[in-house]
Structure 1
Amino acid sequence: MALLRQRLRLTAHLFQERVEKLYEARAVVVRDKVIAVRIEAGSDTAREDWRSDYDSLTYAPIELPASVSSALVELHHRLGLVYGAVDLACDTSERWVFLETNQRGEFGWLGEETGLPFAAAVADLLEKGV
């Protein structure tokens, strides 16, 4: 325990609650529009962190609950962001858990996998002006 305390003192750490996930989602917020994809993990490794096993993942368009979508739009307004890629988890109680928003987050492969219009939404934003 002393060694653990010593190591914790020396570097920055981020601790978070463990979430027992049904699945995860990536939502892309473009101004007031939210487009979301359900990400199903097909391996134990991917269930822990889906980025660790892309080959086991399946994707499907998903409609987030209105309360979640409106909260994401409000968050981005408050942060002064017109774009954000949001990672979410839906837990075993079907409670949505916000993980992060990334103003440079990727969406290209999700559009290819699902046919959702992520690129068109971003192009529209750029065409009309940020």
Structure 2
Amino acid sequence: MTRLDDATADLVITELQQRNVPVVRLDPGGFPDRLRLNAFLGGQGMSGSVLTDTRTADLTGIRSVYWRRPTPYATGPGQAERWCGDQARYGLGGILAALPGTHYVNHPWRNRDAEYKPVQLATAARCALRILPTLITNQPAEARRFLMEYRPVLYKPLWNSDYTGPDGRPWTVWVDDVDPDTLDAGVARTAHLFQKRLDKTGDVRLTVVGNRSFAIRIDSPGLDWRRTYDQNSYTLIDTPPDVDNAVRVYMETFGLVYGAFDFGIDRAGLWWMYECNPNGQWAWFPGHITARITNALADRLERPGELCER
């Protein structure tokens, strides 16, 4: 389930095709123009099909779903268009979330539940993962007090919203240091996340696929390694047993099969969790690392019954 220009999904699709595993690529956001639906629900459950211009998927024959990055359901400025968009979301979306006997990586509702950073941090603490002092507020005075107590402090967006600048190009809000003197009344306009900055020696992206995990240490010249992809170094490392066990509990708590965890390593070697993106990107790693994750995902989709029982 993804958009047509998803290069990450392309890797998994190619791997499955090389294994002679049949694949249908669907973008729910293409409904109704490029996707058609026929679903019957009765005493025997659900039956029917979804059809694209080139493929047909029997709703009762879908083994696994890799829920990646579908486009939003089509809508428009008018009341009728918004109504149709809602019907598509709850009709087609409800069907695609209830496929009989299907293994989801991840189920879209589990993705949704696990996307909220406050819930991530609260759950991480309950699962015995280390988290840094964090304040979420819209009160400038409280933000200033937090900055004075825990400095240095970082600002992090709570959600990576699409934002277009006056030049028409997309803008990104990066993780960055906060100077108390720069805080103003703008803090009161919405929720802001402030977090104590870790005195770190490196970062880790821990990519979990079912019972397999891939810890990659990231050494970057900058504060936010997403800004310096080409200058970073990436090294496969072992995950400390206490972190590995806590991450498994975290995944079970949210009902996730896949998760992309971000950690920082302090000068004592301890791992501190920043967040977990339940649908995070992974195909930007060097080829030898990307190949391992591609194979793990393909294994999970091809043999869900066998792997889920381990």
Bin the TM-score by the shorter chain.
0.7 to 0.9
Aligned-residue offset at 1:23: 0.4
Question: 1:120–1:114: structure 2 CA closer, same or farther, 3 Å change rule?
Answer: closer
CA root-mean-square deviation: 2.1
Residue 13 of structure 1 corresponds to which residue in structure 2? 192
Give the share of equivalent positions with the same residue, in percent.
35
The one-letter code of the counterpart of 1:126 is L
Deviation track 1:56-86 (CA, whole Å, cap 9, x = no partner) reads 1011110011111111111011111010011
Kindly tell me the number of residue pairs found equivalent between the two proteins. 126
Unaligned runs of 5+ in 1: none
Instruction: Compare relative contact order (CA 8 Å, sep 6+) and give the higher one, 1 or 2.
Output: 1
Unaligned runs of 5+ in 2: 1-139, 142-181
Q: Secondary structure at the match of 2:234?
A: strand
The one-letter code of the counterpart of 1:112 is G
Q: Secondary structure at the match of 1:119?
A: helix
Q: Which moved more, 1:19-28 or 1:29-38?
A: 29-38
Aligned-residue offset at 1:5: 5.4
Give the structure with the higher percent strand: 1
What are the equivalent positions in structure 2 for 1:77-96 lying under 5 Å apart?
A: 77-96=252-271
Deviation track 1:18-63 (CA, whole Å, cap 9, x = no partner) reads 111100011111122211111111x2xx2x1001111210111100
What are the equivalent positions in structure 2 for 1:1-130 lying under 5 Å apart?
A: 4=183, 6-41=185-220, 43=221, 46=222, 48-110=223-285, 112=287, 114=289, 117-129=292-304
Q: Bigger radius of gyration, 1 or 2?
A: 2
CA contact (8 A) 1:89 1:99 kept: yes
Paired with 1:123 and 1:57, the residues of 2 have a C-alpha distance of 27
Q: Secondary structure at the match of 1:14?
A: strand
TM-score normalised by the chain length of structure 1: 0.86
TM-score normalised by the chain length of structure 2: 0.38
